[in-house]
Structure 1
Amino acid sequence: MPAGSAERAGEPVATATARPGASIGLFGSELLTLFRRRRTWALLGALALIPVLIGVAIRVAGDAPAGRGPAFLGQVTENGLFVGMVAVIVATPLFLPLTIGVVAGDAIAGEASHGTLRYLLIAPAGRIRLLVVKYLVAAVFCAAAALTVVVVGTIVGWVLFPIGPVTLLSGTTVSVGEGLLRFLAIAAYVAVSLLGMSAIGVFLSTLTTVPVGAMAATAILAVAAQIMGALPQLEWLHPWLFTNYWLGFGDLLRDPPVWDSFVDNAVLQAGYVIVFGALAAGRFLTKDILS
């Protein structure tokens, strides 16, 4: 879904990059452009619809049979705060990767397809600077996407179901306030989980002038990585897959919280950011943006 070039009209990006503080100005301009797009809000709206549908379905149909459905599903009617948790579990394998793939895959390819890429570099913005800014904007969207699912899920649960102290996986009960902080930590965990995929998407975006191709390839790689992660024959490969820790946020619902998965996940994602960031830089530095 390429963004319209009209969204660039009137933006003094090239001029801003020639002054001190150009990187911050360029980042602010790109971030503003992203969140001005109807497509961005449509993606966030689609993610927000997931907890809404889950909450309404449980409210209307009642509890699922014991042992069936996503984790925490049976706790929703007792404590609506778990709507956000169920929504995260449902959204992480497919829906979040799809939305992230759209934004990351469009980062460079979208500009190239509309001929706006050369104008971003006229001042000059600097190719590496522009690439870093594009990636940071995609990273901000990762955080926005994860927060959308968790926050909307919490609000829906608050409206449709009773709210009370949160029973953790270790059996300990914590206050509503601490429970909400734990859910925010889970949103941060999910956002971090998507950073490696964003780097892959930006790299793929430098390879083509067709944004849809980069978007689709990014999403397909996420699905393929999860399939490989489910095959015991490839167990040796699992620790290297960028999806390996995606659903490891349950450790944050223990008392005390266990941060090992968070740290391991962050290190793995940082590795992907470094590797695919370097590949993207190598490709973008030699890319003919005038063709």
Structure 2
Amino acid sequence: MTSTTVQRHRAPVVDAAAHRPGLGAALSWESRKLRSQLRTKALLVGAVLAPLAVVVIVHSQPRPPKDTLFGRFATDNGFAMALLVLGFASQWVLPLLTAVVAGDIFASEDQHGTWKTVLTRSTSRSTLFWAKTAVAVAFALVTLALLAASTIAASWLVVGHQPLTGLSGQVVPAHTALALVAGAWASMALPIIGFTCLALLFSVWSRNAAVGIAAPVVLGLVMQLVGALGGIETLRPFLLSTPFEAWHGLLAAPRFTGPLLDSLVTSAGWSVVCLTAAYLILRRRDITGG
């Protein structure tokens, strides 16, 4: 076989690879797929409406939930109410909201048997992996932003915006309290990204949407229970549930931001490890069966 013949046979392969869609096209396609799903729309609507219902119900209770952080002030102070909802949401709501999409985004390709079609005709594994990851992270952050804005707005309108009593007993003016509450909710972005990457790993590894969605939530609850135990101070900073409590330093006097820096390191570590493992699993997967 001459070199000209070899080049003639190789040319279509090179051209096919050259005409594969890039990351931008993959991002656009994955975004359209996500927007078309009914559960995605339901989650976003729920993130806006659910906080209003929770605030109204808690505010109407004759006795405030005194056994929770900021609970004793929640029925009289809108900022305390927003922080009470934050403490509750960080236990399992936030991991669940992000896992519903991230835990299914890879497993759905297995469920519908579309891996072979997508990877042999549309795009590369690396491009598809990063497109799905970016879409899942973006959805998690958008959901968090809607939930935070709705909670703060509902608490402000239903309960009020009086000065807030901080964790050290100090009185925080309303305008300062608003900024601190918003910062507390914003700090949830770090562990949320970590749980998104964890859900992505389970989605790739298990090939099952139920496992991809449930496993991160269950693991998060287990980590919270472990973190509540005594005698594990050396282990606690490495748990992905610990960054959910990093905002406490913002409401103390004087304020301290050390936990926020630890949260950044912990969340980044979990994210890198989970994404690396998920990427390697996907790269080595045999997709010839579908």
For the criterion TM > 0.5, the same-fold answer is: yes
The Cα shift of 1:33 comes to: 2.7
Task: Give the partner amino acid of 2:287.
Answer: I
Provide the C-alpha distance between the structure 2 equivalents of 1:49 and 1:168, rounded to a whole number of angstroms.
Answer: 27
Provide the C-alpha distance between the structure 2 equivalents of 1:122 and 1:255, rounded to a whole number of angstroms.
Answer: 58
Q: Structure 1: any 5+ residue segments left out of the alignment? A: 1-13
Tell me the residue number matched to 1:173. Answer: 172
Alignment CA distance shift 1:255-1:39 (3 Å): same
Task: Give the partner amino acid of 1:35.
Answer: R
Tell me the residue number matched to 2:210. Answer: 212
TM-score, length-scaled by structure 2: 0.82
The Cα shift of 1:267 comes to: 0.9
Tell me the residue number matched to 2:245. Answer: 247
Alignment CA distance shift 1:228-1:257 (3 Å): same
Q: Answer 1 or 2: which has greater helix percent.
A: 2
The Cα shift of 1:255 comes to: 5.8
Greater mean deviation of Cα atoms: 154-163 or 188-197: 154-163
Q: Does 1:24 align with 2:24?
A: yes
Q: 5 Å matches for 1:130-149? A: 130-149=128-147
Tell me the residue number matched to 2:61. Answer: 61
Task: Give the partner amino acid of 2:61.
Answer: A
User: How far does the alpha carbon of each residue in 1:213-272 deviate from its partner, in whole angstroms, 9 at most, with x for none?
Assistant: 222222221122222212224443222211122122122234664322121111111111
Provide the C-alpha distance between the structure 2 equivalents of 1:27 and 1:185, rounded to a whole number of angstroms.
Answer: 29
The Cα shift of 1:286 comes to: 0.9
**Root-mean-square deviation (CA), in Å?**
2.7
Query: Would the aligned equivalents of 1:51 and 1:156 in 2 still touch at CA under 8 Å?
Result: yes
Q: 5 Å matches for 1:155-166? A: 155-166=153-164
SS of 2:60's partner is: helix
- How many residue pairs match? The answer is 273
Provide the C-alpha distance between the structure 2 equivalents of 1:103 and 1:92, rounded to a whole number of angstroms.
Answer: 17
User: How far does the alpha carbon of each residue in 1:82-132 deviate from its partner, in whole angstroms, 9 at most, with x for none?
Assistant: 332211111111122222222121121112211233343235522122212
Among 269, 272, 283, the residue aligned to 1:274: 272
Provide the C-alpha distance between the structure 1 equivalents of 2:29 and 2:165, rounded to a whole number of angstroms.
Answer: 43
Tell me the residue number matched to 2:81. Answer: 83
Alignment CA distance shift 1:236-1:261 (3 Å): closer
User: How far does the alpha carbon of each residue in 1:36-59 deviate from its partner, in whole angstroms, 9 at most, with x for none?
Assistant: 322123234444455333322233
TM-score, length-scaled by structure 1: 0.82
Alignment CA distance shift 1:238-1:29 (3 Å): same
Tell me the residue number matched to 2:42. Answer: 42
Query: Would the aligned equivalents of 1:87 and 1:150 in 2 still touch at CA under 8 Å?
Result: no
User: Higher Cα Rg: structure 1 or 2?
Assistant: 2
Greater mean deviation of Cα atoms: 141-150 or 275-284: 141-150
User: How far does the alpha carbon of each residue in 1:4-41 deviate from its partner, in whole angstroms, 9 at most, with x for none?
Assistant: xxxxxxxxxx99x835xx32332233234323322123
% identical equivalent positions: 25
Q: Structure 2: any 5+ residue segments left out of the alignment? A: 1-15
Task: Give the partner amino acid of 2:35.
Answer: F
Greater mean deviation of Cα atoms: 229-238 or 198-207: 229-238
SS of 1:227's partner is: helix
Alignment CA distance shift 1:62-1:51 (3 Å): farther
Provide the C-alpha distance between the structure 2 equivalents of 1:200 and 1:137, rounded to a whole number of angstroms.
Answer: 15
Task: Give the partner amino acid of 1:192.
Answer: L
Provide the C-alpha distance between the structure 2 equivalents of 1:225 and 1:209, rounded to a whole number of angstroms.
Answer: 24
SS of 2:91's partner is: coil
Provide the C-alpha distance between the structure 2 equivalents of 1:211 and 1:86, rounded to a whole number of angstroms.
Answer: 31
Tell me the residue number matched to 1:150. Answer: 148
